[in-house]
Amino acid sequence: MDQKIQDKITSWLNGSYDDDTKNAIRELQKNNPNELLDAFYQNLEFGTGGLRGIMGVGTNRMNKYTVGMATQGYANYLKQSFPGEVKVAIAHDSRNNSRFFAETTANVFAANGIKVFLFESLRPTPELSFAIRSLKCQGGVVCTASHNPKEYNGYKAYWNDGAQMVPPHDKNTIREVEKIASVDDVKWSGGEKNITLIGAEVDNEYMNMVKGLSVYPEVIARQKDLNIVYTPIHGTGIKLVPEVLKRFGFTNVNIVKEQSEPDGNFPTVKYPNPEEKETMSIGLNQAKATNADILLGTDPDADRVGIGIKNNHGEWVLMNGNQTAVLAFNYVIEARKTKGLAKPNDMVITTIVTTGMINRIAEANGVKCYNVLTGFKWISEMIREKEGKENYIIGGEESFGLMIGDKIRDKDAVSAVALLCEMAAYEKEKGRTLFDKLIDLYVQNGFFKEDLISITKKGMDGQQQIAAMMEGYRKDPPKNINGSDVVELLDYELRKGKNLKTGKEWEIKLPKSNVLQFILEDGTKISARPSGTEPKIKFYFSVNTQLKNAADFDRVNKQLDEKIKSIIASMKL
C-alpha cells in the first residue's frame, strides 16, 4: 500500500475519532483491504457543488468527519464574506444518515457563532433554496445525494441568493475547506443555542408561492377530477406534493402506496431516479390499471420530476427530460401570452446540452432564450446577471429539472408536478393529451429527438480513463460522424469554438467547463461531458428534421431513433 495512504489510515486510528470508526477501519484491514484502499486513497473532494460519495469510514467517504471538516471550511468562508450576523438554513432528504449529517452540519455552524435554521424533518431541496431567500440567510446546506443509489449521500452548499455557489465563491469555499487539515480544526459543539427548528410556517409560505404559479385555475376548477398518479419514490416529495396539488384544486390524486413512505434503502427500486423506467414501473402499472390521465414521480430530494402519459396510440410512455422541458417552456410562454401576462423583456434559460427545440419555441414567440452551462446554478447566475433588466419566467435542462418563476434558485419538482398536472388539465379540456400537444409542437418547430448514454469508469483509474477519452477527442476530433461532416468543434474547457472547414475560431463567452460539442453538417449536435458527481462520462445526442403533419409522427420518430443508433455505433461507444 502506498505510504501516503497508510499514513492517512494510521492518523485515523490514532486521532480524535470515535471508537466505532476505528473498529470499522480495523475490520476493513482484516477482511477487505481493497475497500480500505478505496476509502482512503484520496480525500472526498469538496467540489463546486459540495460533497457526494459513498457512506462509510475514510477520507474518501461521506461520514461525520468529512462532513464536519467541509462545514468548518464553509463556515470560515461565510464569516469572512459577511462580517455581521451570518445565518444559514439546513435541510435533508430521506437517505440513510441524512438527518445525522444535517444535525452534524448544524452543530458545526452553530459552534462557529452562525445562526442556524434547521428543518425539523426531511424536506425537498427546492424548499431549502426558497427558505434561504425567505429567511434572508447568507448560505445553506441540504444533505442529499439526489438520485444516486442508496449507498451514497451528499452535501450541497448554497449562497445567499438560494443558488448553489458559482465563482468566485465556489473556489474560495473549496480553498477554505482544504485548509482544514484535521478533525481537531473543527468546532464540533457548544453553540446549540444558535439552532432554531423550522417547519410548517416555511412550508406554508413555499406552497403559497407554488400556488401563485398557476395560470389557469379556472381550468383546474372544471377538470379537478383529473386522474393523477403520483410516486415520491420513498423520498421527500410526500411532504409537500399531495398538499400542493390539493391547493391547486385537484381532487383525484392517487399516491403509489408501495413507494409512499420515506426510506433511505429505497426497497422497491435499484436507483431512486425518475429517469429510469424500472423506477417508474410500479407507478406506470397503477396508472394503466386505473386509466389515469398522468403519472408523476419525484426523486428522493424532490428536485427532479418524471412524467408518464399516453402516446398517440393510447399506450403509456415515459417522457424524457427534453420532452418535458419543451412542453413546460411552451406552456408558460403560451399561457402568459393568452392571459396578457407576457412582458416584452420576458426571458427563458436552458443549457448547452438541452434540446435546441426550446430555442426555436422561444424565438417563434419573441422571447429571449439564453443557453448556459449544465446545472441550475448557472441558470441562477444568468438570472442574477439580468435582474432588473429582463424578466425570468422559466428555466430547465434535460436532466428532468425545471425552475418556474423567480422565487427559488434551484430545480423544483414540487412546482413542476403541479404545473404539469395543470398542463394536462388544460389539454384534457380540449379533448387532447400532452402527447398530442407535443406532436403539434414538432410540426410547428421541427422534430427534435434526443438521447443520452453514460459510460461508467469505476475505481482509482476511472477518472484517468475518462480524462484520456476527452483529451483524445480534443486533440484529434472526428472529421465525419455517421456520414455527416463535423463542421464545428465547441470546446468549453478552452472556451473556444472552431469551424473545422474554414479554420475560423471564436471565443465562447461562458465559464470554463469540461464539455466538448460536435456540430454536424446535418444539424446533429453531440456533446461529451464527464459527470461532476459520478465516475461517468455522458454523451448527449440531438438530431432533428421536419415533421410535415401529425400523421407522419411514427415514421419520422422511427427514422430519428435509427439515426441516433447509427451515430452511437459510428462513434464506437
Q: Kindly list the catalytic residues.
A: 146
| Residue 438 and residue 424 in contact, taking contact as beta carbons nearer than 8 Å | no
Please, are residues 492 and 512 in contact by the beta-carbon 8 Å criterion? yes
CA distance 121 to 103: 11
From the number of C-beta atoms within 10 Å of its C-beta (0-12, 13-18, 19+), residue 474 rates as: middle
Distance in angstroms (rounded) separating the CA atoms of residues 540 and 452: 5
Cell triple for 480? 465525419
Please, is 523 exposed, middle or buried when counting C-beta atoms within 10 Å of its C-beta (0-12, 13-18, 19+)? middle
Catalogue the long-range contacts made by 59-62 (C-beta closer than 8 Å, 24 or more residues apart). 59/8, 59/12, 62/97, 62/101, 62/145, 62/152, 62/153, 62/154, 62/155
Which amino acid makes up residue 22? Answer: K
Strand ranges of the sheet holding 87-92, from the earlier edge strand across to the other edge: 50-54, 152-158, 139-143, 87-92, 115-119, 195-198
**Cα gap 299→244, rounded to integer Å:** 17
What are the distances in angstroms from CA 54 to CA 62, 149, 183, 456, 534? 6, 9, 20, 16, 11
Any residues with CB less than 8 A from the CB of 247 and at least 6 apart, and which? 207, 210, 211
Cell numbers of 424, please? 394536462
Provide the CB-side half-sphere exposure for 49 (13 A, CA).
20
Mark 498-515 as b/e (b = at least 16 C-beta within 10 Å): bebeeeeeeebeeeebbb
Residue 365 region by backbone torsions, left for phi larger than 0, else alpha for psi between -120 and 50, else beta: alpha
What is the Cα gyration radius of the chain?
24
Cell numbers at residue 441, please? 409542437
Cβ atoms of residues 542 and 359 within 8 Å: no
Please count the other Cβ atoms lying within 10 Å of the Cβ belonging to residue 33: 11
Task: Work out whether the CA dihedral 334, 340, 341, 346 comes out positive or negative.
Answer: positive
Cα distance between residue 514 and residue 519, in whole Å: 17
What cell does 234 get? 420513498
Number of neighbouring beta carbons within 10 Å of residue 246: 12
115 Cβ contact list (under 8 Å, min separation 6): 85, 86, 87, 88, 194, 196
Distance CA 83, CA 67 (A): 24
Residues in a beta bridge with 463: none
β-pair type (447-456, 496-499) = unpaired
